[in-house]
Amino acid sequence: MNTNRHNAPHIQDQTSWLDKLSKLLSLTSANVQLAKDYLLNDEAGDELLQQAQLQILPQLSWPEREPISTLFAALTAGDRERACRTVRYLWAVGQSSAENALRCLYKVAFTRGKGNSDEIADRRVVWDELLGLPAAAALEGQAVVYHYIGNKRIASWLQELAQTQPDVLVQAQTLCPAGETMMPAFLAGILLQNARAGQDPRPGLLARVFGVKSEPVRWTENQVDILLRGVMDYLKHGRAGITASDCRQLEQYIQSGRPADPVPRLSVGTGWDVQPQNVLKVHIGADSDRLSRLALAAFEGQAADPRLRCAFKVLSGLRPGNVLDELKDALGFEEIVRQAAVLKQCVPGGGVVLLLYMGGRGYAGQKEAIRLAQLCSGEMEQALKLANDDQYAGLCSLLPEDSDLYLEWKRKKQDRAAAMQDRIIRQFRNALGTGGAPGADGDAMEAYLTDQGSMAGSAARLAPFADRQMRMYDARSILQAYHKSMGWDRFFCRSMVALALVNQGWIVNGLPDQYEKFANALNTFGMPPHEILDVLGAMYAGSYPGEQENIRKAGDTVCARSGVGELAIAAREGCSFARSAAVKGLGAVPAGADDAPKAREVLLDCANETAKMVQKELLEAYCGHPEWKEDYAALLAGKKQGARIMAARALAGVGGPEAVPILNAALEKEKSAKAADAIREALAALGAAREGKQEEKPQDAAELAVQILKGGKKRKVQWLLDKPLPTVHCTGPDRAPAGEDRMAAILVCYADLGRIGRSPAAEQLVQGLDAAELAAYACEVWDHWIEAGAQSKTKWVLAFAARCGGEAMTPRLTQAVKTWPEHARGAIACDGVQALAISPDPAALMTVDAISRKFKFRQVKTAAGQALANAARELGISAEELADRIVPTLGFGPDGTQVFDYGPRQFTVRLTAALELEITNDAGKQLKNLPAPGKADDPEKAGAASAAFKNLKKQIKTTVSAQKGRLESALSVQRCWTPEAWQALFVNNPIMHQFAISLIWGVYTDGRLGDTFRYLEDGSFTTADEEEYTLPAEDAGARIGLVHPIELDQEALSAWRQQLEDYEITPAIDQLDRPVYRLQPDQAGHTALERFGGKKISDLSLTGKLLGMGWYRGSVQDAGGFYSFYREDQAVGLSVQLNFSGAFVGSGESETVTVYDAVFYRAGTVEHGSYVYDEPKKEDILPLDQVPARYYSEVVYQLEKATASSTETDPFWKATR
Cα of first residue to Cα of last residue in the chain, in angstroms, is 67
**Whether pLDDT at 1085 is above 80:** yes
Closest-CA residue to 919 (of 941, 893, 897, 934) = 897
User: Is 225 a domain residue?
Assistant: no
pTM of model > 0.85: no
**Residues 781, 165: Cα–Cα separation, whole Å:** 52
8 A C-beta contact, residue 667 and residue 640: no
Q: Which helix (H) or strand (E) segment is 84 a member of?
A: helix 80-94
**Whether pLDDT at 691 is above 50:** no
Q: Are residues 956 and 910 in the same domain?
A: yes
Q: Are residues 808 and 846 in the same domain?
A: yes
Binned at pLDDT 50, 70 and 90, residue 939 comes out as: very high
Pair type for strands 1021-1022 and 1008-1015: antiparallel
Dihedral (CA of 47, 50, 53, 56) sign: positive
Residue range 551-606, pLDDT digits in tens: 899 999 999 999 999 999 999 999 999 999 999 999 999 888 899 999 999 999 99
Q: Percent of the chain, pLDDT > 70? A: 89
Mean pLDDT calculated for residue range 941-952: 90
**Residues 705, 179: Cα–Cα separation, whole Å:** 59
Q: Quick one: pLDDT at residue 207?
A: 41
8 A C-beta contact, residue 145 and residue 177: no
Q: Are residues 908 and 828 in the same domain?
A: no
Binned at pLDDT 50, 70 and 90, residue 212 comes out as: very low
Q: Quick one: pLDDT at residue 374?
A: 83
Last-in-domain residue among 854, 884, 914: 884
Mean pLDDT of the chain: 86
Q: Quick one: pLDDT at residue 853?
A: 76
User: Is 92 a domain residue?
Assistant: no
**Whether pLDDT at 364 is above 60:** no
Residue range 57-85, pLDDT digits in tens: 988 877 778 788 888 888 887 788 889 99
Binned at pLDDT 50, 70 and 90, residue 1042 comes out as: very high
Q: Quick one: pLDDT at residue 7?
A: 39
**Residues 142, 148: Cα–Cα separation, whole Å:** 9
Q: Which residues, other chains included, contact 105 with Cβ-Cβ below 8 Å and sequence gap of 6+? A: 69, 72, 76, 83, 86, 87, 90
**Whether pLDDT at 20 is above 90:** no
Q: Are residues 1028 and 901 in the same domain?
A: yes
**Residues 735, 3: Cα–Cα separation, whole Å:** 14
Q: Which helix (H) or strand (E) segment is 227 a member of?
A: helix 216-236
Q: Are residues 753 and 863 in the same domain?
A: yes
**Residues 209, 167: Cα–Cα separation, whole Å:** 8
Q: Are residues 454 and 543 in the same domain?
A: yes
**What Cα–Cα distance (Å) separates residue 265 from each residue in 249, 261, 463, 469?**
9, 12, 51, 39
**Who wins on pLDDT, 144 or 525?**
525
Can you give the CATH number for the domain in which 668 is found?
1.25.10
Q: Quick one: pLDDT at residue 503?
A: 73
**Who wins on pLDDT, 1167 or 48?**
48
Decide: helix, strand or coil at residue 1013: strand
CA atoms lying within 13 Å on the CB side of residue 890: 27
Q: Quick one: pLDDT at residue 1?
A: 33
Q: Quick one: pLDDT at residue 437?
A: 55
Q: Quick one: pLDDT at residue 424?
A: 86
Q: Quick one: pLDDT at residue 589?
A: 92
Residue range 221-265, pLDDT digits in tens: 899 999 999 999 988 875 667 888 999 999 999 999 999 999 999
Residue range 298-316, pLDDT digits in tens: 999 998 999 999 999 999 9
Pair type for strands 1121-1129 and 1208-1209: unpaired
Residue range 473-505, pLDDT digits in tens: 666 667 777 877 788 899 999 999 998 888 755
Q: Quick one: pLDDT at residue 121?
A: 77
**Who wins on pLDDT, 750 or 875?**
750
Residue range 623-653, pLDDT digits in tens: 989 999 999 999 999 999 999 999 999 998 8
8 A C-beta contact, residue 39 and residue 89: yes
8 A C-beta contact, residue 356 and residue 383: yes
Mean pLDDT calculated for residue range 928-932: 91
Backbone angles phi, psi at 68, to 5 degrees: -65, -40
Mean pLDDT calculated for residue range 541-545: 75
Q: Are residues 366 and 471 in the same domain?
A: no
DSSP 848-891: HHHHHHS-S-HHHHHHHHHHHHHHHHHHTS-HHHHHHHT---TT
Q: Quick one: pLDDT at residue 1023?
A: 95
**Whether pLDDT at 369 is above 80:** no
Binned at pLDDT 50, 70 and 90, residue 150 comes out as: very low
Last-in-domain residue among 506, 537, 561: 561
**Residues 755, 777: Cα–Cα separation, whole Å:** 21
Find the range with the poorest average confidence among 225-234, 657-666, 714-723, 1196-1205: 657-666
What long-range pairs does 458-463 form, CB within 8 A, spacing at least 24? 458/494, 458/497, 458/501, 458/527, 458/531, 458/535, 459/501, 459/531, 459/534, 462/497, 462/498, 462/501, 462/502
Q: Are residues 376 and 419 in the same domain?
A: no
Q: What is the dihedral of CA 110, 115, 120, 121, to 10 degrees?
A: -90
User: Is 134 a domain residue?
Assistant: no
Domain count, the chain: 6
**Whether pLDDT at 1206 is above 80:** yes
Cβ burial of 278 (10 Å; 0-12, 13-18, 19+) is middle
Closest-CA residue to 1138 (of 1162, 1116, 1156) = 1156
Q: Are residues 728 and 844 in the same domain?
A: yes
Last-in-domain residue among 540, 561, 582: 561
Q: Are residues 426 and 544 in the same domain?
A: yes
User: Is 959 a domain residue?
Assistant: yes
Binned at pLDDT 50, 70 and 90, residue 2 comes out as: very low
**Whether pLDDT at 697 is above 60:** no
Q: Are residues 1139 and 1099 in the same domain?
A: yes
**Residues 1167, 1165: Cα–Cα separation, whole Å:** 7
**What Cα–Cα distance (Å) separates residue 988 from each residue in 413, 606, 884, 893, 1000?**
80, 52, 12, 10, 18
What is the span of the domain harbouring residue 354?
A: 349-399
User: Is 200 a domain residue?
Assistant: no
Find the range with the poorest average confidence among 202-216, 303-317, 1063-1077: 202-216
**Residues 846, 854: Cα–Cα separation, whole Å:** 13
Mean pLDDT calculated for residue range 599-627: 92
Backbone angles phi, psi at 435, to 5 degrees: 60, 25
User: Is 749 a domain residue?
Assistant: yes
User: Is 197 a domain residue?
Assistant: no
User: Is 595 a domain residue?
Assistant: no
Q: Quick one: pLDDT at residue 413?
A: 66
Q: Are residues 915 and 1027 in the same domain?
A: yes
**Whether pLDDT at 120 is above 90:** no
**Residues 885, 881: Cα–Cα separation, whole Å:** 6
Q: Percent of the chain, pLDDT > 90? A: 48
CA atoms lying within 13 Å on the CB side of residue 1092: 28
Mean pLDDT calculated for residue range 368-382: 83
Mean pLDDT calculated for residue range 144-160: 72
Closest-CA residue to 486 (of 402, 416, 383) = 416
Mean pLDDT calculated for residue range 531-535: 95
Binned at pLDDT 50, 70 and 90, residue 13 comes out as: low
**What Cα–Cα distance (Å) separates residue 1009 from each residue in 293, 985, 1002, 1005?**
63, 21, 6, 7
Phi and psi based region of residue 571 (left: phi greater than 0; alpha: psi -120 to 50; beta: remaining): alpha
**Residues 708, 701: Cα–Cα separation, whole Å:** 10
